Amino acid sequence: MDLFEGLIYNLRGLRLGLSKGKLLFWGLTRFVLVLLILLLLSGVILSYQREMMELIWIKPESRWVAWLWYLVSWLISLLLLVVAAFISFLLSQLLFSAVIMDHMSRITEAVTQGCVAEREKTTSSLSICFYLLKQEIPRAFIPIVVSLLILILGWITPFGPAFAILSSAFAAIFLAWDNTDLIPARRFVPFRKRWQLLTKNLLFHLGFGLPFLIPVLNLLFLSFAPVGATLYYLEKHQSGKKPDARRQ
């Protein structure tokens, strides 16, 4: 079953990542950097919690109503912390995670295949770096658009709980795709073909992304997800001929 297979590949990647020195180093580096950005944004939000609440609702003088004000205040803060987590993930992807993820994917390919397959055309490391960063734009934009559409449908229809579950499922799928797309993007596969690879394997990506929905632990799974995703691509979609294979 594709759903179960996706979960297995994620766990396999985590186990391999924790057992190999280089993968462990880069996985923990990504984990720490994302955590630092999250803590920084969360600290800023919490430090201005009262001021932001005052803009929405001035604290009532009556003690009978004040408790409701505090409840709403912390609910809004919790929502903002979720937004901070989302923003920190996007920032990490654009600033450094794309490069670290690609490097972890290369290490995994070298460990399991003995070499890293590249395009036949020679491309500089700087060009590859900019190309990988450019790939983050559609991979980040499409999930945001889909999530917003689902969120709006949840607001304007009586099926809010169902759309909330659907939104979580799509988030897991897109986070998984962010990792399974590493090798195709590095080999300059056209975006249309990479999108087809996702749509034809939705259940696999859902299973692979389910651990990303676990609070706290999701940062650990996300940090080592490139390993399992690389294993999946090499074992399921690797062509017989490797273009310009070279040692890592």
* 245 located within any domain: no
CB atoms within 10 A of CB 155: 9
| E strand segments, the chain | 116-117, 245-246
Q: Which amino acid is at 49?
A: Q
Residue 216 backbone zone (phi > 0: left; psi -120 to 50: alpha; other: beta): left
State mean pLDDT over 134-155.
66
Count structural domains, the chain: 1
For residue 224, pLDDT beyond 90: yes
* 247 located within any domain: no
Cα–Cα dist 145/166, whole Å: 14
Domain of 176? 2-238
* 93 located within any domain: yes
State the maximum Cα–Cα separation within the chain, in Å, rounded to a whole number: 75
State mean pLDDT over 160-188.
81
Beta bridge partners of 246: 116
Helix spans in 93-213 (H): 98-113, 125-156, 160-180, 182-186, 191-199, 202-209
* 167 located within any domain: yes
* 244 located within any domain: no
Residue 64, both tokens: 């009978």
Report which of residues 183 and 87 the model is more confident about.
183
Report which of residues 78 and 248 the model is more confident about.
78
**Residue 126: how many CA atoms within 13 Å on its side-chain side?**
0
Residue 180, both tokens: 């399974």
Average of per-residue pLDDT values in the chain: 78
Q: What is the pLDDT of residue 62?
A: 75
Read off the DSSP letter of residue 97. I
Q: What is the pLDDT of residue 35?
A: 83
Q: What is the pLDDT of residue 245?
A: 47
Q: Tell me the pLDDT tens digit for each residue of 1-48.
A: 788 999 999 999 999 999 999 999 999 988 888 888 888 887 887 777
- Compute CA 123 distance to the chain's CA centroid, rounded to the nearest angstrom: 27
- Compute CA 120 distance to the chain's CA centroid, rounded to the nearest angstrom: 30
- Compute CA 234 distance to the chain's CA centroid, rounded to the nearest angstrom: 20
* 243 located within any domain: no
Q: Tell me the pLDDT tens digit for each residue of 196-221.
A: 899 999 999 999 999 988 877 888 89
Q: Tell me the pLDDT tens digit for each residue of 49-106.
A: 677 666 777 777 777 777 777 777 777 777 777 667 767 776 776 666 778 888 899 9
For residue 243, pLDDT beyond 50: no
Beta bridge partners of 116: 246
Residue 124, both tokens: 């500089």
For residue 161, pLDDT beyond 80: no
Are 154 and 160 within 8 A, CB to CB?
yes
Report which of residues 203 and 131 the model is more confident about.
203
SS3 58: coil
For residue 181, pLDDT beyond 70: yes
Report which of residues 222 and 149 the model is more confident about.
222
